[in-house]
Every structure is written in structure tokens, then in C-alpha cells.
Chains A and B, each alone.
Chain A
């Protein structure tokens, strides 16, 4: 049986939510399941390519613990999901317009393309949808 594709809408800039999105995306993608991630709103800042972990990740107590204990880095998990599985990453074209950022400001090679929400929602009709 073919698994339903998983669509993750990542809007939050909270480290904990970005970490969970990265875990779901990477594990799903290496489990014979297509995963599509759409990054928008405050989540965008976590994907700036020149950002240090301190600049990239902001959150609560669990964020502190994730970093203190050396949990896998969220950006690296997304990269592993792309390398080892069927993971596609999209950046919200509206978020790029609002911030004035170009795609070249984002982590190199991580995103497939900029996409509008309408197209993402249309593609997501065939799968399971998660918002973080």
C-alpha cells in the first residue's frame, strides 16, 4: 500500500515547532512516504543561510534542552530528509515578498522552489496536512 503524502505547513518561528517539523519531514521522507514542507511567516528566519544556531532558533525551555543535549539540528534533519528520502521543500512566495528576501538568502540547496499557498493547498488535497 502506498502511504498518503504528508504536507507540513510550517509558520512558527519557535524552535520546538521547527524541530518537530524537521523530525516529521525527515522520518516521513525516509519511510517510503512523500513529504512536502511549505515554509512561511516567522519560520522563514530559521532558514537564513548565514544565521548561527543562536540566531536561528528561539523558543522555550525545551529549545534550551534540545541545544544543551545536542539534539539533531533541524536544518540538518531537513537536509538528511532530502538526501535520503522523498522530501520537497517550498518557501512561501508571499513571505519572500513581505521580507524582501531572495531565495539566495536561504540555506543553499534546501528549497526546491518558491511557491504560493494556493498551489500548495491544491497539491495537499491528496494527502495528510499538518500545520506547525
Chain B
């Protein structure tokens, strides 16, 4: 079963949440997921764009109170 790691990047400014996600992806296995919490307004669009470009998989983006929850599955 896929493991999910949470990264709380709330309060970090661009490109902090993306860089934290990328660092986190290096530490997990293919098929596992990372959930990034970001209050940076660009992350909800920037992270899916990056995920599509480099070949990982978006699981979803959810708007929460004051931040976005962005879930990415490591695909390679």
C-alpha cells in the first residue's frame, strides 16, 4: 500500500514549497505519495505544472482554510 508523507510548507514563499516537494520525492519509493500544504498562492498551479513536465502523477489539489493541500504520487 502506498505511503503518504506530509510536508507542511505553509508560510514558505515561492519556490520554497516546490523545492521541499522535490527534496521529499527523492526520499520516497515509486508509488508513494507526498501531500504538500502550501499557503503560497502559486503552488496550486505551479506544482501540477512541474509534476506534468517531469513525469510524476497528480493525485489532487484541495483548497483548505488558508492553504492548499497538493498530493503528488512519485511515478519514476
B16 and A84 within 8 A (CB): no
Known contacts A80-B19, A84-B19, A71 near B13 by CB under 8 Å: yes
Q: Is there a chain B Cβ closer than 8 Å to A102's Cβ? A: no
Q: Given the complex, which residues of A lie within 8 Å of B15, measured CB to CB?
A: 23, 26-27, 72, 77
Interface residues of A, dominant DSSP: loop
Interface size on A, residues (CB 8 A): 14
Q: Is there a chain B Cβ closer than 8 Å to A32's Cβ? A: yes
A84 and B23 within 8 A (CB): yes
Q: Is there a chain A Cβ closer than 8 Å to B53's Cβ? A: yes
B54 and A84 within 8 A (CB): no
Q: Mark A1-44, 1 if CB is under 8 A from B, else 0.
A: 00000000000000000000001001100111000000000000
Q: Give Cα A80–Cα B23 distance, bound, in whole angstroms.
A: 9
Q: Mark B1-23, 1 if CB is under 8 A from A, else 0.
A: 00000000001111110110011
Q: A27-B18, A32-B54, A84-B26 are in contact. List 20 more A-B contacts (CB 8 A).
A: A23-B14, A23-B15, A26-B19, A27-B15, A27-B50, A30-B18, A30-B19, A30-B22, A31-B50, A31-B53, A31-B54, A69-B13, A71-B16, A72-B16, A72-B19, A77-B19, A80-B23, A84-B19, A84-B22, A85-B22
Chain A residues at the B interface, C-beta cutoff of 8 Å: 23, 26-27, 30-32, 69-72, 77, 80, 84-85
